[in-house]
Amino acid sequence: MEEQIIKTEYSDVMQKSYIDYAMSVIIARALPDVRDGLKPVQRRTLYDMHELGIRFDKPYRKCARIVGDTMGKYHPHGDSSIYEALVVMAQDFKKGQPLVDGHGNFGSIEGDGAAAMRYTEARLQKITQEVFLADLDKNVVDFGPNFDETEKEPLVLPVKIPNLLLNGAEGIAVGMATSIPPHNLGEIIEAEKAFLKNPDITTEELMQYIQGPDFPTGGIVVNKDQLLEIYKTGVGKIKLRGKVEVEQVKGGKERIVITEIPYTMVGANIGKFLNDIGNLVETKKAPDIVDISNQSSKDGIRIVLELKKNADTNQIINMLYKKTKLEDTFGMNMLAVANGKPETMGLRTVIEHHLDFQYEITTRKYKTLLDKELDKKEIQEGLIKACDVIDLIIEILRGSKHIKEAKACLVSGETGNIKFKSQASKKAAAQLKFTERQATAILEMRLYKLIGLEIEALLKEHEATLLNISKYEEILSNHSAMTKVIRKELDSIKKSYAVPRKTVIENGVEAVYEEKKIQEQEVIFLMDRFGYAKTIDTTIYERNKEAADSENKYVFPCMNTDKICLFTDNGTMHTIKVLDLPFGKFRDKGIPVDNVSNYNSSEEQIIFTVPLKELNDKYLIFTTKYGMMKKVMGTEFEVSKRTIAATKLNEGDKVCTILTEPLVLISEGMSISEIPKNTNNLVLQTRNGIFLRFSSTEIPEKKRGAVGVRGIKLTGTDEVEQVYIFDENETYAIEYNQKEVVLSRLKKAGRDTKGFKYRG
């Protein structure tokens, strides 16, 4: 068959492919289904454990076995994603109701990861078996083929409670994300029962039962009045605080004890919280905290802050709320898959979808049970009827040559090939009208069933079957009867698994914290050649001036409220706050500037340091080793970012020097003759001893993102080594090759020339 090339617009192909990919991520991976509240990986893992028989009352099995079986049969997306989902379902500090019973190291609330799957074991929780996976054998949900069509898997689990609310969900899809907090099991069951009683119930009425989120870590929700609007729309910010207690200790001192943390702090954020408190102490914003200890254990969270005597405890607590993650927000976005599409839902909509699902699975369950009972009834009636004419049936069986002849006689009264003892028996046999199934059951019946007690038991069983049929037909035909069944199941689940609420819901008082105003003063900035920096008092500097100047590479006065600009050879500017540097004794070592900025001493080198305020009325003159030069207004470096690109460099080039030059200030009403003239001269010195002198006015003013212009023509591999600036009316000399060079006597040339070799 001849190949055909189909031409199509590239953008159309990309659009279709991207939409297909996005929908695959949204529906098949990232978002939970509103009916069972599970993502595909969670659903498949639980179903696989169910199929493997790893029930709550059976021994634990290796997680590696569970992960491998799930990946091989149902979820071909890699073992790490399956194991991570399994671990999270077993962590009681992340899930309102863990669905997996883990045995071994499944991580900790402080962010420790779980052990490898070859070490850990798991089995289903009892609630998972009874509430999430029950009735799968009763055709309550649809099954579909797995990825290679060798197995069948449920498209949704028959979960009897709104798991989307119970355990919440987190997921990032393409262009959308879901973030749903966990809730209290008892409360959501009561809300569902209220919905069953009144299908027109409002969100406000539902929230009389569901107070708000119930996080496994406890804590306090402090914006109670905003919850109604959040639950109406399904979108909003829940404000969380940790639980803080104040304990009295000996000596009239107090300690702050954090016993519950916000849900958002679970994991590595606990370590960050402790570091943040440490930083507050180091920067003297919390000088009354004398010790921090994390005494948390398997019994719960306990973070202790020891305070000085007479410390303002309330002020410190408010500072923790404002400056750390002890008060945080949980961004709520109740997005889930409903009817095959992603949808943002409010509380009422979620419960409505789940109850619709409950009616569906309950209907399917009782239809299946009714069909089984009807089948039993048919067979029982056949056996009862057979017991009444058992002698005739035995005669039919003894007179038949083949089982087919006997069955045909029982079903349709065909007696042609059967030998009877009498004509009366033949006439009675011709009147038999058993069904196919009844005939099969009669032919398979064992002789002991003819014992009197067995016949009596059969009659009792038949009565029970008739009662079940009546019961099931009533449930299926009467909506209120089905509602009663659903309500009864909810009551049973609540009685077995409900636990008291952990999270307190209230309208918290806004934390008010005012930082003490820092008294502005002049200090001396010191940084040695190893990058260790500190500040000292001006009087201390005056007493140690000679030693300070000789031992440090950068020494200059600045205000303690200022920022220090660090310019590096790769064209970057880093800023550090003077307050972040230690202030104290002259002989203190200081701290590496790497610790208080983004500067990396292993990749770049500081070539110029200056207080930010000094750049207001100055130009910065950049010179690179390849001779590129430019002037940049100092105000361009007044930015809030800690790190910016100070200049653009050509490939392989480096900044070798940065000089400052005062701006020529022009006052209003000043005549041309009164404008001061720039008389600064620049001298460029190269590694090979080439000198070039020209006026600084030849260097154009450029923006930070410009490369600049060429200052000197270099020959071979020569590079610019040093740049000097001086007033042409002053005598300016340097030492070069152990000889004095008076730069102000050098012959003046133009920019972008070769210069000349100095020979003394």
What residue ranges in 578-617 does DSSP mark as E strands? 591-592, 606-611
What CA–CA distance (Å, rounded) separates 331 from 238? 6
Q: C-alpha angle 20/69/94, rounded to 5°?
A: 75
The three-state secondary structure class of 102 is strand
What CA–CA distance (Å, rounded) separates 615 from 325? 36
Which of 523, 205, 193, 203 has the alpha carbon at shortest distance from 354?
193
What CA–CA distance (Å, rounded) separates 449 from 457? 10
Question: Are the C-beta atoms of residues 753 and 692 closer than 8 Å to each other?
Answer: yes
DSSP 352-372: HHHHHHHHHHHHHHHHHHHHH
What phi and psi, each to the nearest 5 degrees, are found at residue 479? -60, -40
Q: Kindly give, in sequence order, each residue whose CB lies less than 8 Å from that of residue 517, ignoring residues fewer than 6 positions away.
A: none
Q: Give the chain's largest Cα–Cα span.
A: 149
Read off the tokens for 73. 């049969």
Instruction: Give residue for tokens 């007044």.
Output: 638
Which of 437, 365, 360, 427 has the alpha carbon at shortest distance from 396?
427
Which of 172, 30, 209, 180 has the alpha carbon at shortest distance from 96?
180
732 annotated active-site: no
Question: Are the C-beta atoms of residues 121 and 61 closer than 8 Å to each other?
Answer: yes
What phi and psi, each to the nearest 5 degrees, are found at residue 750? -95, 160
What CA–CA distance (Å, rounded) separates 266 from 52? 32
Read off the tokens for 171. 């997921």
Read off the tokens for 683. 């001298």
What CA–CA distance (Å, rounded) separates 21 from 14? 10
| Cβ-count burial 139-175 (b if 16+ within 10 Å, e if not) | ebbeeeebeeeeeebbebbbbbbbbbbbbbbebebee
Instruction: Give residue for tokens 């430019």.
Output: 630
| Active-site choice (47, 119, 541, 554) | 119
Q: Pairing relation of β-strands 628-633 and 618-624?
A: antiparallel
Beta bridge pairs of residue 753: 712
Q: C-alpha angle 31/51/98, rounded to 5°?
A: 50
CA distances from 460 to 270, 383, 456, 470 (A): 65, 13, 6, 15
Cα dihedral 166, 137, 130, 101 sign = negative
The three-state secondary structure class of 294 is strand
| Cβ-count burial 415-438 (b if 16+ within 10 Å, e if not) | beebebeeeebbebbeebebeeeb
Which of 625, 622, 626 has the alpha carbon at shortest distance from 645?
622
Read off the tokens for 230. 């959040």
What phi and psi, each to the nearest 5 degrees, are found at residue 255? -130, 145
What residue ranges in 43-200 does DSSP mark as E strands? 61-62, 100-103, 121-124, 143-145, 152-154, 169-172, 177-180
Indicate which residues carry an active-site annotation: 119
